[in-house]
Chain A
Amino acid sequence: AQSVSQHNHHVILSEAASLELGCNYSYGGTVNLFWYVQYPGQHLQLLLKYFSGDPLVKGIKGFEAEFIKSKFSFNLRKPSVQWSDTAEYFCAVNSNTNAGKSTFGDGTTLTVKP
């Protein structure tokens, strides 16, 4: 069974600080990895995804994530956060089997102080 673990439940940063949100997954086969963002009162939006190839993927709004297969990790990073990055961030995995259902982590609430 797939599982996803996000280590940080709530992160508080000042503007311009660097961000790294941890994500570890557990699955026996090949996975696809995603980060979604949910701004207050809004729906889930895809930030970035990894299927194969270069393990460093770049997404929208200056976010990037690195897939480290040996560590089963897919951490999200941003060198300099902005107040508008305040949101909930979800790591998710799916695979090409079991109809591709996604398994989400618990989410990390990011608060950026202006």
Chain B
Amino acid sequence: QQQVKQSPQSLIVQKGGISIINCAYENTAFDYFPWYQQFPGKGPALLIAIRPDVSEKKEGRFTISFNKSAKQFSLHIMDSQPGDSATYFCAAVSNFGNEKLTFGTGTRLTIIP
């Protein structure tokens, strides 16, 4: 019940295209859903996050779509650029739990020219 399932494992998108990464969870106690971007040899960096009381959050080219009833959320990267090539992790945490992030398995995104 603590799992967060992430797909796809890897993704290749052409420059200017839309990159879409999906995550699904089971634990209904999760109430905060961040996305992290990680470059090789670096720590994850917070990209964008959402709470379940909204269905969408947009920050620049990055958008989270959240479907509470389906227990799914996704990251959309619009106008994808080569600099977006990285590994992306979705995560979930319960504010009233033990504060531990539950990570997805990661998606390696490659943007090709």
Co-complex (A, B): no
Residues of B within 8 A of A (CB): none
